[in-house]
Structure formats: structure tokens, C-alpha cells
């Protein structure tokens, strides 16, 4: 795997998601899709062969989504995101640690799925 492109895709994922959540919260899903797309579009191939198919795009998009989701969760907990809108969706009666845990888990799951979709789209466009 090309970890440099996965890292670039994860950073694009996190930054674009945070910026789009500031602008208009429902646009946040474009960040993970763009991160997965960039990762799979820039990836060369794997050890045994030079071409990438949809499964390979899904793998690198998922890796980018997982790392990007963790970055998004950490940025939200540090206060760099639209935290009021997100914590308003989650019950405010629970503790801060539980809220942070839920935010990280949700951001990783959503980013993983959308990164996978972006990775498959990136391979299709590349072909």
C-alpha cells in the first residue's frame, strides 16, 4: 500500500469535512468521499500487479476513511469543528467522555463507509 497517498487522502478527508461542517453541516459527507477518491486515484497499484480494480480502490479508500475519521473525531473534540451542532444531535445528559467516544465512533464509521465509496469512484474514473 502507498501510505503517503493514504495519508494525503486522510488529511483531505478531515480538513474538508471540518470546513464543510462549518459552512453547512449536511455537506460534511463530501470530505470522506473526496479523501477516498484522491487516495484511490493517486494510488499506483499493489505488489503483484500494476493495475487497480474496484476492490483495491475500496481498500485504500477505507484505510483513508478510517484514519480521516479518527482525525475528524480528534479535531472535533479539540474544538475545531461545529461541535454545537453535533452535540445537539447527541443527548446532552451523558458525560463528556461518553460523548467524545460516541463522536469518534460515529465519525470513523461514517468516514469509513464514505471513503470506501470514494475509493471505488476514484478507480472507476481512473479507468
User: In the structure grid, which three cell numbers stand for residue 34, read together?
Assistant: 473526496
Of 90, 111, 85, which Cα lies nearest the Cα of 100?
90
pLDDT at res. 47: 55
Residues of the chain with pLDDT > 90, as a percent, come to 28
Residues 6+ apart with CB under 8 A from 100: 73, 77
Question: CB atoms < 10 A from the CB of 44, how many?
Answer: 9
Taking the C-alpha atoms of residue 67 and residue 60, their distance in angstroms, rounded to an integer, is 11
Domain ranges across the chain: 3-126
Q: pLDDT of 39-90, one tens digit each?
A: 988 887 665 666 778 888 899 999 999 999 898 888 877 777 666 656 665 6
- Average pLDDT estimate for 92-96: 66
| Residue with grid cell 459552512, as numbered in its chain | 23
Amino acid at each position: 500500500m502507498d501510505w503517503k497517498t493514504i495519508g494525503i487522502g486522510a488529511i483531505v478527508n478531515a480538513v474538508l469535512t471540518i470546513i464543510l461542517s462549518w459552512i453547512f453541516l449536511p455537506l460534511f459527507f463530501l470530505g470522506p468521499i473526496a479523501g477516498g477518491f484522491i487516495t484511490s486515484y493517486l494510488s499506483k497499484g499493489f505488489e503483484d500487479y500494476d493495475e487497480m480494480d474496484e476492490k483495491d480502490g475500496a481498500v485504500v479508500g477505507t484505510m483513508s476513511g478510517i484514519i480521516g475519521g479518527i482525525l475528524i473525531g480528534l479535531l472535533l473534540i479539540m474544538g475545531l469543528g461545529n461541535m454545537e451542532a453535533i452535540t445537539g444531535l447527541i443527548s446532552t445528559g451523558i458525560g463528556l467522555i461518553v460523548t467524545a467516544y460516541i463522536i469518534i465512533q460515529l465519525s470513523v464509521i461514517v468516514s469509513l463507509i464514505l471513503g470506501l465509496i470514494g475509493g471505488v469512484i476514484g478507480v472507476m474514473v481512473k479507468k
